[in-house]
Amino acid sequence: MEKLKQYGVEESTVDEWAAKNYPDYKSNRELMAKLYLAMVKGVRVAEPKVVGEFIKVSELTVNVPSRIKVVVVQQVDKRSYVGCPKCLKKLQAAPNTTVECPRDGLVKAQVLEWNLVLAGDDTGEIMLSIPPSVGRVPNTGDVIAVEGSLTEQEEFTVWRYSLAEAKPVEAKPAVEAKPMAPAAEFKCPECGKIFKNQLGLSIHLKTHKAKEAKAPAAKPEAKPEAKPEVKPEAKPAAPAPKPEAKPSLPEEAISLARAASIISKPYEEFKAFIQGKYPGIDVDELLKAAGVKVEAGVLKKL
């Protein structure tokens, strides 16, 4: 239904078309919408599942078709333009105005979007560039299988993607039960009597102590009391000055700095944005922590 809006087709138009041509299937409106787009507009409405060998982000080569499996961090940016709703070609026209497309003739110009999404795997990060033809932007935390190619600007242009299947949880091997150690012997050190537990032994030992208390004890020879040596009172040491704690840099701010370096965002524009989001943050320290440098007024990876 979203594609119907994208191509300027009213749902009532599809309903009338389906009732006339496929009355037995008209109740499945979503199916009829796809069939209408495919037959009347020549739009590709379904993509096969991404299959084949995957490579790591660190192994990507510029302009080589590749398949990667990544986890989505977040949507970073949008790039809007006015274009043809059919071929998605950029047009010099105002939105919602009728204009002639070199390929599709008279069309109603629409605002179209490219979306930039930060993702990565265990070897590195990549900026996914998702064109209007792909449509839906994946959610944060989604693990997706993606097909596309790496551009010279270090962005991965997405041709299509699908949610990756979850890996089955491996069953852990059962822990072998060890034989129990024999019960400990609770033996009296005085008389050698053996008890079943520590409590019985403890009560028995008290009887030995009671007998020793009744026996007359020899008085120890009195010794002259030694006078305690008077030492001068030590002054407490002055507390060492505590080092001034520096505020920690938010992990999200570091991710945004890395993402900005991938799309070569202007330094001043990024600085104004990040200071508005995190008042008082040291932008130079942030770039240093993110491994980003400023080159010719724009952000670049070190």
List, for residues 52-96, the tens digit of each pLDDT value. Answer: 789 999 999 999 999 999 999 999 998 888 988 888 888 988 989
pLDDT of 173 > 80? The answer is no
Interatomic CA distance for residues 102 and 249, integer angstroms: 50
Confidence of residue 127 (pLDDT cuts 50, 70, 90): very high
Instruction: Average the pLDDT over 232-241 and give the result.
Output: 56
Interatomic CA distance for residues 224 and 158, integer angstroms: 95
| Token pair 């009732």 in the structure block, residue | 19
Q: Which residues contact 104 (CB under 8 A, 6 or more apart)?
A: 84, 86, 87
Interatomic CA distance for residues 229 and 211, integer angstroms: 41
pLDDT of residue 14: 92
pLDDT of residue 182: 46
pLDDT of residue 244: 47
Burial of 256 (0-12, 13-18, 19+ CB in 10 A): buried
Q: Which residues contact 157 (CB under 8 A, 6 or more apart)?
A: 129, 131, 148, 149, 150, 151
Confidence of residue 192 (pLDDT cuts 50, 70, 90): confident
Whether the Cβ atoms of residue 146 and residue 70 lie closer than 8 Å to each other: yes
pLDDT tens profile 95-113: 899 999 988 889 899 888 8
Q: Which has the minimum average pLDDT: 84-93, 201-210, 213-222, 254-263?
A: 213-222
Distances (CA, A) of 207 to 49, 58, 149, 192, 214: 83, 77, 87, 14, 11
| Amino acid type, 248 | S
Interatomic CA distance for residues 199 and 184, integer angstroms: 13
Confidence of residue 218 (pLDDT cuts 50, 70, 90): low
Length in residues, the chain: 302
Interatomic CA distance for residues 224 and 208, integer angstroms: 34
- Eight-state DSSP code of residue 103: T
Q: pTM of the predicted model, to two decimals?
A: 0.42
Q: Which residues contact 105 (CB under 8 A, 6 or more apart)?
A: none
Interatomic CA distance for residues 141 and 76, integer angstroms: 14
Domains and CATH numbers, the chain: 2-41 (no CATH), 57-163 (2.40.50.140), 251-301 (no CATH)
Q: Which residues contact 177 (CB under 8 A, 6 or more apart)?
A: none
Instruction: Average the pLDDT over 179-196 and give the result.
Output: 68
- Eight-state DSSP code of residue 41: I
pLDDT of residue 24: 92
pLDDT of residue 171: 46
pLDDT of 205 > 90? The answer is no
pLDDT of residue 291: 87
